[in-house]
């Protein structure tokens, strides 16, 4: 595998799951595969889980790890070609990327959507520049439109906890004080559609996701109706995608918070969230602390998804 930015890059999901569970049985069985190989993790945005789980996964494979926080201690980087660089950014990504490439064997990149220019975000301008100019395998640690390592971990988690072959999985919008990208819900939808679960998306009107990600999912504007009979509730906030509202907050309606009353409508559903989560905005304390909350095992599976992806990349070097 040379690049990992979306569900298609992983290939057959059944094989990807088999590989993940094989790693989970003994995560140190490939601890010499990455000997003398270096992972460079480049962060344009903050992280807790991605940073720790990906570094841990690389260590499990015997790799060396370099972490670059672009906004802390590095030169500020210009990302757009053609601009006159007379501002506060002394280095262009077009020089910085090939330089990073010479110091490592694999690059992971986190670069969120700016939420100002939909075309720029949805063209995945930053990670595509890494793919084009680094000369190295590149994987997404959450880009503008997708978070595939998270979605792969989410899929592993659902497979571990499901009790029916084709569970009902509900992605629900929930309120948040700040405008967030659509990367996690887009990506989750992409992977759930590929897994062919009974998949429902629920959100207030105006929060429709890009149709390419919605795919075959059923969209239900009544959250309570969507929750009926669900086996998994996956909560997430996102900002508007459509037209002039791109990147805007259209609602902070607290009636969309996931609470015990709504969870009671489900088939004793497990509660999932990628974290970090705003308690009592996205989800009530009671729900996230309940025995049906699987947010910690979900986060633990980030190590497994990262290791599965890097293992494939190491094997193709």
Provide the binding-site residues for ligand CP, judged by CB under 6 A: 47-50, 142, 150, 274-276
Contact 268, 279 (CB under 8 A): no
Residues paired with 109 in a beta bridge: 42, 140
- How far apart, in Å, are the Cα atoms of 161 and each of 10, 12, 186, 192, 274? 22, 21, 22, 15, 16
- Minimum distance, C-beta of residue 310 to ligand CP, in the bound complex (Å): 16
**Quick one: tokens of 165?**
């072959």
On whether the CB atoms of residues 312 and 306 are closer than 8 A, the answer is no
CB of 302 to ligand CP, least distance (A): 7
Q: CB-wise, 5 or 150, nearer to ligand CP?
A: 150
Which of 286, 189, 276 is CA-nearest to residue 203?
189
Going by C-beta distance under 8 Å and a sequence separation of 6 or more, which residues neighbour residue 26?
A: none
CB of 307 to ligand CP, least distance (A): 16
C-alpha 102/C-alpha 40 separation (Å) is 10
If the CB atoms of residues 66 and 254 are measured against ligand CP, the closer one turns out to be 66
How distant, in Å, are the alpha carbons of 93, 142, 192, 240, 264 from that of 187?
A: 26, 10, 9, 16, 27
- Looking at beta carbons only, is 133 or 270 nearer to ligand CP? 270
**Residue 162 beta carbon to ligand CP: minimum distance, rounded to whole angstroms:** 21
For residue 112, the minimal CB distance to ligand CP (Å) is 9
- Enter the tokens of residue 147: 């978070």
Given the complex with ligand CP, which of 168 and 305 has the nearer CB atom?
Answer: 305
Query: Are 314 and 33 in contact, with CB atoms under 8 Å apart?
Result: yes
**In the bound complex, what is the minimum distance in angstroms from residue 247's beta carbon to ligand CP?**
19
Nearer to ligand CP by C-beta: 11 or 276? 276
Closer to ligand CP at the Cβ: 38 or 47?
A: 47
- Which of left, alpha, beta for 62 (phi over 0: left; psi -120 to 50: alpha)? left
Using the minimum distance from each CB to ligand CP, give the nearer residue, 19 or 154: 154
Closer residue to ligand CP (CB): 78 or 180: 180
Instruction: Go through the chain and tell me how many residues it has.
Output: 317
Cα separation, 156 vs 195, in Å, equals 11
Look-up: residue for tokens 């998994």?
232
Task: Please state the closest distance from residue 191 (CB atom) to ligand CP, in A.
Answer: 14
CB atoms within 10 A of CB 283: 25
State the minimum distance, in angstroms, from the CB of residue 6 to ligand CP: 16
Residue number with the smallest Cβ distance to ligand CP: 50
């Amino acid at each position: 595998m040379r690049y990992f930015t979306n569900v298609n890059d992983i290939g057959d999901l059944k094989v990807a799951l088999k590989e993940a569970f094989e790693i989970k049985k003994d995560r140190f069985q490939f601890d010499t595969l990455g000997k003398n190989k270096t992972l460079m993790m480049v962060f344009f945005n903050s992280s807790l889980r991605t940073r720790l789980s990906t570094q841990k996964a690389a260590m499990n494979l015997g790799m060396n790890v370099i972490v670059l926080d672009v906004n802390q201690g590095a030169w500020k980087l210009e990302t757009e070609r053609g601009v006159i660089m007379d501002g506060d950014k002394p280095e262009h990504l077009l020089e910085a990327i090939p330089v990073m490439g010479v110091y490592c064997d694999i690059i992971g990149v986190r670069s969120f959507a700016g939420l100002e220019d939909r075309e720029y975000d949805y063209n995945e301008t930053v990670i595509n520049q890494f793919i084009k100019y680094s000369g190295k395998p590149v994987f997404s640690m959450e880009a503008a439109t997708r978070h595939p390592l998270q979605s792969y971990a989410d899929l592993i988690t659902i497979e571990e906890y499901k009790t029916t072959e084709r569970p009902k999985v509900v992605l629900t919008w929930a309120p948040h004080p700040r405008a967030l990208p659509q990367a996690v819900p887009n990506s989750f939808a992409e992977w759930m559609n590929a897994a062919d679960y009974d998949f429902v998306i629920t959100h207030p009107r105006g929060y429709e996701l890009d149709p390419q990600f919605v795919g075959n999912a059923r969209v239900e504007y009544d959250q309570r109706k969507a929750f009926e009979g669900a086996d998994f509730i996956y909560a997430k906030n996102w900002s508007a995608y459509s037209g002039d509202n791109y990147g805007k907050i259209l609602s902070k309606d607290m009636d969309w918070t996931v609470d015990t009353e709504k969870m009671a409508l489900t088939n004793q559903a497990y509660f999932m969230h990628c974290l970090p989560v705003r308690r009592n905005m996205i989800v009530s304390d009671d729900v996230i602390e309940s025995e049906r909350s699987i947010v910690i095992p979900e986060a633990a599976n980030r190590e497994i998804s990262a290791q599965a992806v890097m293992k494939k990349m190491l094997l193709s070097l």
